[in-house]
Amino acid sequence: MSDKRKTVLLLLQDGPKEMESLLKSLDTNRPTLLPQMRVLEESHLIVHYNDSYELTTLGKIVIDKMLPLLDTLEVFDVDIDYWGIHDLRFAPGSLLYRLREIKGCKVIEPNVVNIYEINKDFIETCTISKDLLFILTFVHPIFTTLISQFVANNSNVKVIINMDLLEKFKANRPKEVRGYINSEKVRFYLYKKDMNLGTFAQNDHCSVLRLLSKDNTYDHTQLFCKGSDALKWGKELFDIYLKDSIPITEI
């Protein structure tokens, strides 16, 4: 219930600290901090000897439980409105409960001039990526051009689409998509269930997620993520959709 007490516990997770070290880290003085330390001692979360403090076994248990919560709150603190107005059925509960793994992601809301542009950071890092993963309910007009560039770069490309997009490919781009399928350089998969997301794209360096609003409408807001934990989380999201998809072998 206190930022100072919370910070003290976090500082002690790596081992005992002397009071002077804690005071310096917290940018405070001894008279101000001592009452907070007594509360932690009376709660059996820390002990002290001479002028050093360390976590008790109970304190270590508390900090182990506290860190995932703080990481999850950090994700929501980026933009709580973003999470509050979007449909969270895009992922199973087991994955949503691990949203802390994507902390550090940025919510990007393109201005009117750039609203239809593809994320440039994502496209640039595709050129130095081996594996490219896509979950799509619609495609940008230059999508097939980009796919050709990815293939020329010897990237492994996997694309999961829904039935509506498959029908659009059949009607508007059958020759291009058929060429990719026959070359086996791009693997397409059909997801037969309802997709509760707009798009998801991930390369070896970052990912971009576009969720649907709660009223099932699409907006152009993007969640841009980097980092090993976020990429691992994104790969698991892709694999969940892949598990319920079937290969598209002809069009």
Helices (H) and strands (E) in the chain, counts: 11, 11
Averaged over 83-87, what is the pLDDT?
89
pLDDT in tens, 5-58: 889 999 999 899 999 999 999 999 999 999 999 999 999 999 999 899 999 999
The pLDDT of residue 115 is 43
pLDDT score recorded for residue 112: 46
Q: How sure is the predictor about 117, in pLDDT bands with cuts at 50, 70 and 90?
A: low
What does the pLDDT read at residue 77? 76
- Rounded Cα–Cα distance for residues 69 and 73 (Å): 6
Separation CA 74–CA 207 (nearest Å):
19
Res. 113: pLDDT tops 70:
no
Quick one: average pLDDT of 196-202?
A: 92
DSSP 3-state of 43: coil
* pLDDT for position 239: 97
Q: How confident is the model at residue 66 (pLDDT cuts 50, 70, 90)?
A: confident
Give, for 179, the enclosing helix (H) or strand (E).
helix 174-183
* 177 pLDDT tier (thresholds 50, 70, 90): confident
| Residues 6+ away with beta carbon under 8 Å from 126 | 132, 146, 150, 153, 155, 203
Calculate the average pLDDT of the chain: 88
Q: Report all structural domains of the chain as residue ranges with CATH numbers, in order of start.
A: 3-68 (1.10.10.10), 80-247 (3.30.870.10)
HSE-CB of 24 using CA atoms within 13 angstroms: 5
Quote the CA–CA distance of 126 and 149 in Å, as a whole number: 10
* DSSP-derived pairing of the beta strands 106-108 and 156-161: unpaired
Closest by Cα among 207, 43, 31, 26 to 134: 207
At 18, give phi and psi (nearest 5°).
Answer: -75, 155
Where do we find the tokens 């998809």? 245
Spatial strand order in the sheet of 46-49: 17-18, 52-55, 46-49
Report, as an integer, the average pLDDT of 133-154.
85
